[in-house]
Structure formats: structure tokens, C-alpha cells
Amino acid sequence: MTSIVSIDPQTREGLRCNGTRLWDSLMTLARIGATPAGGVRRLTLTELDGESRRLVIDWLRDCGCGIRIDAIGNIHATRPGTEDLDPIGMGSHLDTQPNGGRFDGAYGVLAGLEVLRSLDDHGIRTRHPVNVTIWTNEEGSRFTPVMMGSGVYAGAFTLEHCLAQRDREGRSVGDALDAIGFAGRDAAPALAAYFEPHIEQGPILEAEGITIGAVEGALGQRWFDVLITGQDAHAGPTPLAMRRDALLGAARIIAAVRRIAEEHPDEARGTVGELSVTPNSRNVIPGRVALTVDFRNARDETLSRMVDALRAECAAIAASDRLEIGLEEVVYFPPCHFDPALVTLVEQAAARLGHSHRRITSGAGHDAVYVARRHPAAMIFVPCEGGISHNEIENAQPEHLAAGTDVLLEAVLAFDRDAAR
């Protein structure tokens, strides 16, 4: 182990991460759950998730980190500091979408790891301990709610509620955690601050030729499970006027979700991502359809108006098509604003390193959204190719990933030097 020195402001100048090592670690991790099309399928709390967790824990232990695992499976790795202060946090998630990419989540975790490795390279011991956290079930694809681990950490959900959530096969979060050996008992640490690097997952930075996004906040989200019940009937003898066609009702709801987003201001988004039809037979009028609605907006009151409009549309479709339509809200968090001082710290770090930067709002939810309810938090965005994510073709440039990691390193060191003096 090289001799450890406390930070001298001068040694910080020219401090850079090892971009090649970062890229190699990302590509090694991406092999766990790799898909033939070049993406990653590593659903939360599957054996593949467990395998990725164990790999990254080994890498974190190599940096001298102590490892704690809390009751929802969040992994907290702590590199000791020279003073008894709350850790400075970094991190993100390792779980992916079913047709996910190599960078969503993984970049934030491995950028934090690269910061620890770079501190080791330069023999630097920070005043604060420095943490890397791997949050459980950020994606919300296999289990709802989305951002589950960070939500429990922030008190947005109870542990009991989350452990009881079930996937489509009826498997509970609690059983899945046990199965991969990550049902922990450790207390989750408080943090002095939290920085989460992430690819933007949208087109703005790339389109403007900007390297760093200092993220001011994230859109609010409201998710619904919708069940439409009509009546199975024969596709031939059943006259049109007699039909109670749940799939026709669903089609009208899907069109309404898009129209409501188009008709509302404040960066409105509306998506139906899941649809299941029963009995799903070509010559049976479907009597039962389940679908999901994902609404987002920059203003909470506009988000509420969008939901009101959806409820009104569903009531009108139920009446006109003689259907029963039930809406169950499964996720709600209002628009979030990150800590202004940390956002400025990120901007200043980008400027000191000579990177183009701009302030930006996240269309995606992230663990930092819930962490921000407990501690000062901010995010660092880097561009992704074509603004595409949640897709196997997701891609990012090594130099952008390294730049975001250098900004993370610079921001952590600046916070460590200036905070709690």
C-alpha cells in the first residue's frame, strides 16, 4: 500500500482518474447478463444481479473498503477517512431493464469505484470516509416500486411493504434477496453528501456538444397499474354492439395517455410500457387487459392535472364501452430539486477541469432523488449516443465517462476540503 498522505490542495491539481481502467471494468461487468445484441439483461435480485454485486464488492474490498449490507440489500462500501465524519457518498445501481444497456446504473457505481482506485493511486486519504453505494432495484421493472432500495433508505417506503412486493411469477422481494444472499442486517450509514454520476439517457448534452450536465433535479413521476375488464366472447357471432371489448378500451386509454402528455405543459411525459391480454387468442374478444401508465412532469400540480384527465378518460371509456376500469397507483414522487450548493460544486469542478457543462433536469428517476430526501445530493450527467437508453444499443464515449469521473473526483475532494471545517 503506498504511503497515505492527507490532501494537499496542490496535489489535487491535475488529479485524474484512469479512464482505461474504468472502461475495462465497465466491459467486464457488462459480461454479466450480456445479451447477443450487445446489451445487458440483469434484472434485480436475480442470480445475475447477485453475481454482479459480488464482483463489485471484491473490487471495492481491494480498495480497503468495509462492506455493509442493509435489510433491503443496499450495499454500502466505506473507504476510511482521517476524521470521524459522515462519509461522502457516491453510487448508483447494478440492476438493468430487460433489454438494458451497459452503462445505465453501472457507470455511477464504477465511477465511484474508480474514484477510490484513483485516491489509492495517488496515496490520498480524505478527511471524510468515502462511500460507494449499490442501491437495490432502481429500475422497478421486475418489482415495483421503482428506486426501491433508495426509497427504503429515505423512508419513502417501509421495508415490510417492499419485502412483500411480488414479481409476475409471484416471487417476493424478500425471497429473492434471500436466494442471492443479500438480505442484510447492517444499518445503512448517514451521508455528509451524495454524488451520483449517470448517463443522461436523453439527447440534450450530445445535441449541444456538452460534456457535463450539472443536474438540478428530476421530473416527478406517477405510475399506475390499470385493469380493464369486459367479457370474453366469440369473434364471429358476437355483433359489434354487443361487445365488451377490453382491448378496444385499452387502445383508447393508450391513445389518451399520449394525448394527455401532449396537451399538458412542463415537460409532460406519458408512456404505456406494459400490456397483457387475456385470453390472448385471435378469435376471442378479450375480456381482460392489464396495462401500465407512467406519467412525468416538472411540476407537481400539472402532474395531478394529468392524472385527473386520465381518470376522467377512463370513466368515459368505461361508460361508453360497458367496461370496468380500475386504476391502482404504484409509484408517486414529486419533482425533486438537488442541493444547490452541491450542484454549484459540480459545475465548478467541471469548469476547473476545462469541461463544457450546463445545468439540466433529469427526465429519468434516480436513486439520488430519494437520497436527496435525507442528505444533500447532486448528480453528474454525461452524454450517451443518440440520447438512447433502456435499449441494448445504449452507448457512451470512454472520454465522456472519464470526464464525468474526473468531475466526481474533483467534487468529492472539494467537498472534503471545504465541508465541516
Comparing CB distances to ligand HGY, the nearer of 109 and 402 is 109
The one of ligand HGY, Mn ion, none whose footprint includes residue 140, by CB under 5 to 8 A per kind, is ligand HGY
Answer yes or no: are the C-beta atoms of 398 and 388 closer than 8 Å: no
Cell of 366: 434516480
To the nearest whole angstrom, how small is the minimum distance from the Cβ of residue 247 to Mn ion?
A: 29
Comparing CB distances to ligand HGY, the nearer of 138 and 200 is 138
Comparing CB distances to ligand HGY, the nearer of 294 and 406 is 294
The one of ligand HGY, Mn ion, none whose footprint includes residue 286, by CB under 5 to 8 A per kind, is none
Query: Which pairing describes strands 66-69 and 75-79: parallel, antiparallel, or unpaired?
Result: antiparallel
To the nearest whole angstrom, how small is the minimum distance from the Cβ of residue 139 to Mn ion?
A: 5
Comparing CB distances to ligand HGY, the nearer of 90 and 364 is 364
To the nearest whole angstrom, how small is the minimum distance from the Cβ of residue 221 to ligand HGY?
A: 7
Cell of 276: 397483457
Comparing CB distances to ligand HGY, the nearer of 288 and 390 is 390
Comparing CB distances to Mn ion, the nearer of 221 and 302 is 221
The one of ligand HGY, Mn ion, none whose footprint includes residue 392, by CB under 5 to 8 A per kind, is none
The one of Mn ion, ligand HGY, none whose footprint includes residue 114, by CB under 5 to 8 A per kind, is none
Comparing CB distances to ligand HGY, the nearer of 25 and 292 is 292
To the nearest whole angstrom, how small is the minimum distance from the Cβ of residue 407 to Mn ion?
A: 18
To the nearest whole angstrom, how small is the minimum distance from the Cβ of residue 104 to Mn ion?
A: 4
The one of ligand HGY, Mn ion, none whose footprint includes residue 365, by CB under 5 to 8 A per kind, is ligand HGY
Q: Residues in the site for Mn ion, rule: CB under 5 A?
A: 104-105
To the nearest whole angstrom, how small is the minimum distance from the Cβ of residue 93 to ligand HGY?
A: 8
Answer yes or no: are the C-beta atoms of 210 and 357 closer than 8 Å: yes
To the nearest whole angstrom, how small is the minimum distance from the Cβ of residue 106 to Mn ion?
A: 9
To the nearest whole angstrom, how small is the minimum distance from the Cβ of residue 138 to ligand HGY?
A: 6
Comparing CB distances to Mn ion, the nearer of 105 and 213 is 105
| Cβ-based neighbour number of residue 84 at 10 Å | 8
Q: Residues in the site for ligand HGY, rule: CB under 6 A?
A: 138-140, 146, 364-365
Comparing CB distances to ligand HGY, the nearer of 146 and 345 is 146
Please report, as a single letter, which amino acid is at residue 112.
Answer: G
The one of ligand HGY, Mn ion, none whose footprint includes residue 105, by CB under 5 to 8 A per kind, is Mn ion
To the nearest whole angstrom, how small is the minimum distance from the Cβ of residue 95 to Mn ion?
A: 9
Question: 3-state SS of the chain?
Answer: CCCCEECCHHHHCCCCCCHHHHHHHHHHHHCCCECCCCCECCCCCCHHHHHHHHHHHHHHHCCCCEEEECCCCCEEEEECCCCCCCCEEEEEECCCCCCECCCCCHHHHHHHHHHHHHHHHCCEECCCCEEEEEECCCCCCCCCCCCHHHHHHHCCCCHHHHHHCECCCCCEHHHHHHHHCCCCCCCCCCCCEEEEEEECCCCHHHHHCCCEEEEEEECEEEEEEEEEECCCEECCCCCHHHCCCHHHHHHHHHHHHHHHHHHCCCCCEEECCCEEEECCCCCEECCEEEEEEEEEECCHHHHHHHHHHHHHHHHHHHHHHCCEEEEEEEEEECCEECCHHHHHHHHHHHHHCCCCEEEEEECCCCHHHHHCCCCCEEEEEECCHHHCCCCCCCCCCHHHHHHHHHHHHHHHHHHHHHCCC
